[in-house]
Amino acid sequence: MLSYSHQNIDRSDIEVVSTALKQDFLTGGKKIEEFENALCEYVGVKYACVVNSATSALHLAYRVLNVNEKIVLTTPMTFVATANAALMAGAKVEFIDIKDDGNIDPEKLENRLKKDSKDIGAICVVDFAGNSVECDKISALAQTYNIPLLDDASHALGALYKGEKVGSKGDLNIFSFHPVKPITTFEGGAVVSNDKEKIEQIKLLRSHGIIKKRLWDSDMLSLGYNYRLSDVACALGINQLKKLDTNIEKREIIAQFYEKEFAQNPYFATIKIKDYKKSSRHLYPILFFPQFYCQKEEIFQAFIDAQIGVQVHYKPVYAFSFYKELLGEIQLENADKFYKAELSLPCHQEMSLQQAQFVRDKLFEILENLGPKHG
């Protein structure tokens, strides 16, 4: 099965993990700080805290932003963790509709803030598929209304916005190291920032809220968690980070092949990356035209039958039963349309151009076989 995304594990990764397994400290050792420093250098920020998942990273970020009993404005076009973690931190969640690239719409965000901004605890954006949000506009809004900006850049490690790394402009920024993401630590995540105090608070919460005092003595200052990332995982992360730019370029080659081959086809559109952005190409989404919405299950199954892994990103968060019970029925026009239209094709560094050609050929074969009524 050709998967829609895939980790890149080579001999060098296996060697660093094997070496880490032979060390005295499998967790709580020097590799954690080494990985954090490497992330800071790569992203262009001063401080980082690595944790055991991006969900944990989000939870801790919301905690230190003090969103309890406040509203978090976020996108519905994301994995549920973006919103779930806000609820875990005691916040209420409100969804803002998206643009046609899957990212939160700055104009709709501004309209919501103009209506009432006094109870907003944070704005959380997601760089969908590795393509940056309109960072300047959103940052300006956050500053105008004095609201913390959290960038869930889980898709976007290595992406650029106007020449600067995505995940460096929020008050706090989140990365994911799940195997389908740009780099992996098996499972893992990080919060990065230029705010020293916030990262220190997050590091305290990462390990039970406990600080070492002297000899055997310690003190618990806050109700924290065990969100630590192991030294073995960090050793892998350090090595993965060295290969990131090369792997993104390999993904870009596949994406550019698709762009050329899919130009002006009668079945679907692609998401164009603006000149001042560079995507990490975490996903390669296509957006079917409306006449194909009701055939998407059939298309999806045909890909699976052909041993090609595809996925849909995402079912709007408000469409899940839990959120329906919590918030009632919600309809956001663009998010609903995007969900009906979107399908993610395989696009990753482990693919060859021949495999991309196979995906292209199979895609057009499937669509042509749907019948003349769709022409």
What would the pLDDT profile of 81-102 be if each residue is shown by its tens digit? 999 999 999 999 999 999 999 9
Residue 375 has pLDDT above 90, yes or no: no
> Is the distance from CB of 137 to CB of 106 less than 8 angstroms?
yes
The domain defined by 11-239 folds into: Aspartate Aminotransferase; domain 2 (3.40.640)
Q: Convert the pLDDT of each residue in 292-318 to its tens digit.
A: 999 999 999 999 999 999 999 999 999
Residues 53 and 5: their CA atoms lie apart, in Å, by 18
Residue 203: is its pLDDT beyond 50?
Answer: yes
Q: Is the pLDDT of residue 114 over 80?
A: yes
Give the mean pLDDT of 141-161: 99
Strand 120-126 with 71-74, pairing: parallel
Q: What is the mean pLDDT of the chain?
A: 98
The percent of residues in the chain predicted with pLDDT above 90, rounded, is: 98
pLDDT average, residue stretch 64-93: 99
Is residue 35 a contact partner of residue 238, using CB atoms and an 8 Å limit?
yes
pLDDT at 255 over 80: yes
Determine the average pLDDT of the residues in 147-157.
99
Catalytic-role residue among 31, 165, 169, 181: 181
In this prediction, residue 312 carries a pLDDT of 99
The DSSP code for 264 is T
pLDDT of residue 358: 99
Examine the pLDDT at 67 and tell me if it is beyond 70.
yes
pLDDT band per the 50, 70, 90 thresholds, residue 371: low
Residue closest to 183 by CA, chosen among 312, 271, 54: 54
Architecture of domain 244-374: Alpha-Beta Complex (3.90)
Q: In what helix (H) or strand (E) does residue 76 lie, and over which residues does it extend?
A: none
| Cα Rg of the chain, angstroms | 21
pLDDT at 374 over 70: no
pLDDT tier, 373 (very low <50, low <70, confident <90, very high otherwise): very low
Domain map (residue ranges) of the chain: 11-239, 244-374
Confidence grade of residue 335 (pLDDT, cut at 50, 70, 90):
very high
Mean pLDDT of the 66-75 span: 99
What DSSP string describes 17-55?
HHHHHTSS-SSSSHHHHHHHHHHHHHHT-SEEEEES-HH
> Residues of the chain with pLDDT > 70: what percent?
99
pLDDT in tens, 206-246: 999 999 999 999 999 999 999 999 999 999 999 999 999 99
Q: Tell me: pLDDT of 336 over 80.
A: yes
Phi/psi at 172 (nearest 5 deg)? -135, 145
- pLDDT for 23 equals 96
Token couple for 311: 């996925």
Neighbours of 350 (CB within 10 A): 17
pLDDT at 61: 99
pLDDT in tens, 118-141: 999 999 999 999 999 999 999 999
Which of these ranges, 7-11, 252-256, 368-372, has the smallest mean pLDDT? 368-372
- Three-class SS of residue 192? strand
> How many Å apart are CA 255 and CA 355, to the nearest integer?
12
The number of residues in the chain equals 375
Give me the pLDDT at residue 190, please. 99
Q: Are 60 and 209 in contact (CB under 8 A)?
A: no
**pLDDT for the residue 247:** 98
User: Is 212 among the residues known to form the active site?
Assistant: no
